Amino acid sequence: MRIDGRKKNELRPMAVTRNYIKHAQGSVLIEVGDTKVICTAMIEEKVPPFLKGHKQGWVTAEYEMLPGSTNTRKSRDRNRGKIDGRTMEIQRLIGRSLRSVIDLSKLGERTLWIDCDVIQADGGTRTAAITGSFVALHDALSNMVNKGMVKEMPITNFVAATSVGIHQGEPLVDLCYEEDSNAEVDMNMVMTEKGEIIEIQGTGEERPFSKQELEKMLALGEESIKKIIDFQKETLLG
**Measured between alpha carbons, how far is residue 214 from residues 16, 189, 204, 210, 220 in Å?**
30, 12, 11, 6, 10
* Residue 86 is assigned to a ligand binding site: yes
First to last CA, the chain: 33
Asked if residues 222 and 195 have their Cβ atoms less than 8 Å apart, the reply is: yes
* Residue 78 is assigned to a ligand binding site: no
**Measured between alpha carbons, how far is residue 185 from residues 130, 149, 198, 208, 220 in Å?**
21, 45, 20, 8, 14
In this structure, are strands 185-192 and 35-44 parallel, antiparallel, or unpaired?
unpaired
Helix ranges (H only) for the chain are: 77-80, 85-99, 125-146, 177-181, 211-237
Q: Compute the distance between CA of residue 52 and CA of residue 209 in angstroms, rounded to an integer.
A: 45
- Mark the binding-site residues for phosphate, compressed into ranges: 86, 124-126
